[in-house]
A and B are shown apart, each in its own frame.
Chain A
Amino acid sequence: MPLNKLAYARYNIIDDCLTNKRRKYPSMEDLITTCEEKLQKQFSISQLQKDIKVMKEGIMGSPAPIKFSKSHNGYYYDDPDFSIKRVPLNSDELEALHQAADLMKVFSGTRVSQYFNDAVHKIDTALKVDYGQPQKNHYPIIDIERPSAHKGFQYFEFFTEAAQNRNPVSFVHYSYDKRQFSAVILHTYMLKEFHNRWYVIGYSEKHKEVRTFGIDRIYDPLMLNRQFTEDKKFDPDYFLKDLYGVLPLKGRKKQRIDFRVNPRLSNYFIANPMHHSQRIIKYHEYGTVDFRIEVVPTLELLNDFFMHSTKLVVLNPDWIKEEIKMMNKTAANNERLFG
């Protein structure tokens, strides 16, 4: 039977109390108080009695030899060496742990923080030492698209810490479009990944508004001892839900966008919606499908439409149709210039 997290936490606390050599024979009141202190929740006598019964029945893998001593008015383990923490994992649990460790390894490396990598390494080593190698699949069975040596990715942890601790940061930013540097002071609110690239979003003192910066264009960030600015206009939903990508097009609000996809690409769009708002608005006889999304248009959206433009046409709004036309024209000119 699967254990719920809170019950599991209580069993561990009861086990700690029963194995505490400095304070033997904890009473029911002691057990309740300790559970309440550690879990910041209230528990009844009947709840703890039930927990003891369940532990005795062996829900943790082996029956816990819990006894009550009338002379000491408290509980104890009949076997002084017993602890639920020493109960071995069964094969299903072990396999699940190995799978989880594999999954965590995939997300470690350059992807999260050094602390996370260290923790994953410890778990992996502990599993191998205590339980040996898993019997099958000695290679990772999960692989994900990962940034290997993306420029600026070394600052990922720095910005995570800045957002968590609410420390403003100073950095130098280079704009690929304007071909210009700027010294930015940013109050980081969040980091966002899109198409395997990372961006920091926060209030920029220079621009006096919430801005997005590609982490690959950032140089030498420094943590500042300065009051953190919370922009009241900052709406996380805008960045997390409404925006397709990260770089909104100036003056363009959330809007409906309809597009038609040919039969070769439509199944891909049905299986992998480009946005959570994506709906099918019409099936055509020969497999062409019309879709609708409701998003804040971004540069990334235009690029993705352009990328699929041999199999996809935007139906409306007109301004996006025009933008894609212009991009196709530029591509044709580029072919003449560089081809």
Chain B
Amino acid sequence: MSDSSAKYLFSAPVHKTTCTYVQLLRIIMDKEHTRIDLGYQATDYYDKGGWVRMSEKTYIRVLPDDDKLTITGTENIPKGNTKYEFKTTKDWLYFSLYFPPIPFKTCKIELIEKENSDGTDFNFYDIQLRISEAIKLL
């Protein structure tokens, strides 16, 4: 099934998380990178919805080998110290994170912004990537 130049989509992969406000939506894999699409809903827990940013140390861990692949880029969300400030508690943000490519095989991965998080970081565990569920992009 695998074609080295092809792009594959995992739509709404099964996963576990403690993040309440951020949703893991899609994972797109090709030979260049691994892209993870997420959506954030601002909350009234913070004044005017608060802010978001991605830690430069964010990584994906490919199980069971424990290979760590550090974030290479982002789209629609700042990386590092810059913050994306919401204007209201009802705002939302769709964004993508880029990582190095991972082998195209059935596996589990983890998306970790910060180990031992207090719950405010974007951590996702047991993300199941089943080859049988991958959809080739045109």
Contacts and interface: CB of A to CB of B under 8 A. Distances in A.
A179 interface: yes
Interface of A: 167, 170, 172, 174, 179-183, 185, 206, 219-220, 222-226
A97 B84 CA distance: 52
Contacts of A170: 9, 11, 26, 135, 137
Nearest to A219: B94
Given A179-B41, A181-B94, A183-B11, A224 B135 contact: yes
B70 interface: no
Among A179, A180, A222, chain B packs the most CB atoms within 10 A around the CB of A222
The interface size bin for chain B is: 10 to 19
A155 to B, nearest CB: 14
Contacts of B28: 222
A220 B37 CA distance: 10
The 10 closest A-B pairs by CB, nearest first: A181-B39, A223-B138, A225-B136, A183-B12, A183-B25, A219-B94, A183-B11, A225-B138, A181-B23, A183-B26
Interface of A is mostly: strand
A172 B41 contact: no
B57 interface: no
Given A170-B9, A179-B41, A220 B94 contact: yes
Contacts of B137: 170, 222-225
A220 B35 CA distance: 13
Contacts, number: 55
B105 interface: no
A179 B136 contact: no
B9 A172 contact: no
B136 A185 contact: no
B94 A167 contact: no
B135 A167 contact: no
Contacts of A179: 41, 90, 92
B2 to A, nearest CB: 14
A303 B34 CA distance: 44
Contact of A174 (B26, B92, B136): B92
Contact of B136 (A172, A206, A219, A226): A226
28 contacts: A167-B138, A170-B9, A170-B26, A170-B135, A170-B137, A172-B25, A172-B94, A174-B92, A179-B41, A179-B90, A180-B23, A180-B41, A181-B92, A181-B94, A182-B25, A183-B11, A183-B12, A183-B26, A206-B12, A220-B37, A220-B94, A220-B96, A223-B137, A223-B138, A224-B137, A224-B138, A225-B138, A226-B136
B39 A172 contact: yes
Contact of A226 (B23, B39, B92, B135): B135
A257 B48 CA distance: 43
